[in-house]
Every structure is written in structure tokens, then in C-alpha cells.
Structure 1
Amino acid sequence: MTRSIKLTYFTVITSLLLSPTVLAKEENLSDRIQDCVKISQDTAILTCFDQLTIKSSTISAEPEVTDLTAEQVDSFSKGQVKKTSEELANEINSITLTISKLSKTPYGQWKITFENGQKWQQKDSYKLSLKTGQRVVLTKGAITSVFLQKENTKKRIKVKRLK
């Protein structure tokens, strides 16, 4: 067995065995791997690593159990469920806010702070003139996108909420 094959085998086994769950279960695993590396005979090295993998695969990593509220359990992946007509009627699709502070990124995109403390940043490269004190409309788009436009205009830019 060539040295490069031994090194590859060692790397693969080490990455499998040194996962946090296995290390938490067996603290002396690193020492056992080092013992395997010191063996000079090819078949003995393979046998040593095989024994390590057999032992580590029998160790089952138990998932962490956390206490979840009924609301958290109910809301898990609820975005995939088709909304009822009542939920659609109660859903907010746009809001109107007043700009309190404006700045630009090095790439010329707007960074906008509104009077309610929300911070947003432009995500596309379209040009839109904005002023402090101006009222703008934020509208939900497809998937998770949000668009910003001045009141009574059609031109809009894509934005992302920072805070």
C-alpha cells in the first residue's frame, strides 16, 4: 500500500471519527487513531482502522431534545400549507413608512432607516431618487422578496430588511 493511499485512508477515517458527537462519546479516540498510524504493516493498519470505524458506527448520536411550545410546533413549516381565505384576508401585503435617514453603500445602493426604527437595504441596481421625510410603500413580492416605491409611482426597487 502506497503512502498516499495510507494518507487518504487516514484522512477519511479521521474526518468520520472526529465528528463532535463521536468525540463527545469517546475522548481517547484521537489517541487510538494515532496508535493506528504508528503501525507499519498495511493489513494491520487497515484492521486497526476497521475496528475504530466499527466501534464508532455503533455509537449512536442521540438528537437533542428541547422543549417546544405548542405554537412553535404548530408553526413548523406552516408556510407550505395552503392559506385559508380568512388568513389571506388578514395578511398584510404592503405598508407605508416615512424615511428618517438615507445613506448609500459603496455600490450605490440605498440604506434606508424609517421613523419606526426599521432598517432596509436596496438589493438591486435600479435608480430611484429618495429624500428624508418622504413616504414610501413597501410591498411583498413573490416568495420572500419585498419592493419599495414612492407613493403614487410605479417605479420600484427590491429591498431587504436589515433590522
Structure 2
Amino acid sequence: MKNVIISLGLLLSSITTVQAQDIVSQLQACRAQTDNAVRLACYDKLAVKYAEENIKNDLHVTKVSTPNSNAATPPVTTPTKSPTTPPVSVSTEKRPPADDYASRDDQVKRFGLSKVIEPQEKIEKITSVITSVQKNPYGKLIITLETGQVWRQTNSTSLRLKPGQEVYVEEGALGSYFLGKESSNKRIRVKRSK
């Protein structure tokens, strides 16, 4: 039994080695193409060819056991179908991300909210006037700006702020934000809540 398994393993490994060498030679032939469109078509043909071969050769080994027998039974090989993926279409026309079309006002409104897509020209600092300053029960500030943004203090640094003052909010490292006054070197760490 062990000899059969070992010989089967050696046979399968030699087949995959031959296939790997075949893939490499075909990839090198595609790489030698000078025209970009021809080279891309060659790579696409190889991808489709080997995806189909992998689907055909995809075998799943399961152990079948019967409740009445205590003897070990050999594994049974059954083919399984992998979900086929639709062919990928490649367009040569370059489209900029949709977020690049966002106006500055839209970017200011979304500044500090969770990041889904990074725009190419990202705003790193905004300035606005404070409309209200409140303290939560823990003594930390809740600052509302005239843009409608609400920022909550997350650290315990003290900074005296009054309605009507102009402040800036800038992005720090690792998604943190800082609020400060231009006339002062102090700043507080904040998180946008609205």
C-alpha cells in the first residue's frame, strides 16, 4: 500500500514538473513578443488554457467510511467542479477613479470619515471657524465647526477654544487627526463623529 502511494506521488510530481516547464517555455515565448497587444493576447490565451486544464484536473480526495466496517478503506478520488470564472476583459482605455472627480467641497465634507478610496490629490489640512464648543462628562471637548463637522477630543491635552475662533484639522500618521489653532503650537488629537 505504501509503495502504491509513493509511486503515485512520484508520478504526479513528475507530471506537474513537466507542466511547469511547459508553462515557463510558453511564458517566455509570450514575453518575446514585441507588440503589446500580441503579447497581451498570448498571455490571455495561456491563462485561459491553464485555467481550463486546472478545472479538468481538479480532483478531490475523500475518505469513505462505512459504519459497519472497522477496517480502513482506501481513499476514493472523485472529480469536483470548480466554479468557472468568466473571462477577464481588458480595456486599453484608462479611466481615472471616480473619486478624482469629487469636488473640493465634497472632499471637505468627507474629511475625517472612514477611508474607502484615497483620491490622488488628497486634502491633508482644513481650516474652519468654531460654532460651538462643549465638554463631555469626562472633560473632553466636542467641537462643532461651521462646515457642520463635529470633532471629539480623544486625548487629555488641554487647549482653550472659543466659538468664533479659526482652527485647523490636519491628518496625522496612521489615520489620526489633530485640531489646533494657527496662533498656538498646541494641538489636540480628535476623531470625527459627524
* TM-score for both structures, normalised by structure 1: 0.46
Question: Which structure features the higher share of helix residues?
Answer: 1
Say which one has the larger Rg.
Answer: 2
